[in-house]
Amino acid sequence: MFLQTMLTPIKCFATKAWRRKFERIKNMGINKLLSMWLLRDVIGSIINTLLTTLSIPYVLVKSLLPLL
């Protein structure tokens, strides 16, 4: 249910692993979670995915545009 209300077009967050992570956050509450788990498995994964999603097109454009 939580994933259905998200307004993001990125489909990599719609996996069973992410569903379990979001359910754990919803059930336990964000204040009761271990901070290292939250940083490593949730926030770190989101940052890694977004950086990869943004950097690959940027590098391709920067490398191909001078050739035109």
Q: Each residue of 22-46: pLDDT tens digit?
A: 888 889 888 888 889 889 988 998 8
Does the pLDDT at position 47 exceed 90?
Answer: yes
Separation of alpha carbons 63 and 58, rounded Å: 9
Residues recorded for the chain: 68
Separation of alpha carbons 2 and 18, rounded Å: 11
Element (H, E) at 53: helix 44-64
Residue 55 has what pLDDT?
92
